[in-house]
């Protein structure tokens, strides 16, 4: 299974998503902000990335990944509504990313990761 970098600043959400992904057979490393995420990208096969983060927002993480030539599959998880247009904007930075709007089910999260693994 995949080594996943989960980037989520809300401790309860991070704990819940980590448990779901580990139960599905993945190894999960958690980063609490965008700067920490950039430091840990090298060990991950796939990234599950919140957008609203302290220190460095998720869109800036995507831009920095692109700048550094880091091409890893990304599942974006966010409470920001699709109607705002954020999904289209993020796909301009990282084509092929999977977008999950919070709240989502455990099955949706596992399915999104599986679709990119």
Q: In the chain, count H helices and then E strands.
A: 5, 5
Task: Decide: helix, strand or coil at residue 108.
Answer: helix
Q: Would you say 80 and 51 are in contact if contact means Cβ atoms under 8 Å apart?
A: yes
As its CATH architecture, domain 3-116 has 3-Layer(aba) Sandwich (3.40)
Q: Residue 82 has what pLDDT?
A: 62
Residue the block writes with tokens 């977008």? 99
Q: Residue 5 has what pLDDT?
A: 98
CA–CA gap between residue 63 and residue 70 (Å, rounded)? 10
Tell me the pLDDT of the chain (117 aa) as tens digits.
899 999 999 999 999 999 999 999 999 999 999 999 999 998 899 999 999 999 899 999 999 999 999 999 999 998 876 655 677 888 888 888 999 989 999 999 999 999 998
User: Interhelix angle for 11-23 vs 106-116, to 10°?
Assistant: 60
Q: Residue 95 has what pLDDT?
A: 86
């Amino acid at each position: 299974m995949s080594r996943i970098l989960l980037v989520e600043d809300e401790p309860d959400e991070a704990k819940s998503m980590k448990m779901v992904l580990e139960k599905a057979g993945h190894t999960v490393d958690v980063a609490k902000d965008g700067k920490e995420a950039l430091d840990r990208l090298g060990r991950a096969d796939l990234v599950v990335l919140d957008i609203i983060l302290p220190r460095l927002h998720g869109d800036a993480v995507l831009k920095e990944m692109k700048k550094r030539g880091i091409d890893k599959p990304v599942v974006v998880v966010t409470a920001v509504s699709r109607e705002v247009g954020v999904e289209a904007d993020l796909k301009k930075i990282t084509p092929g990313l999977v977008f999950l709007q919070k709240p989502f089910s455990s099955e949706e999260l596992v399915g999104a990761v599986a679709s990119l693994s």
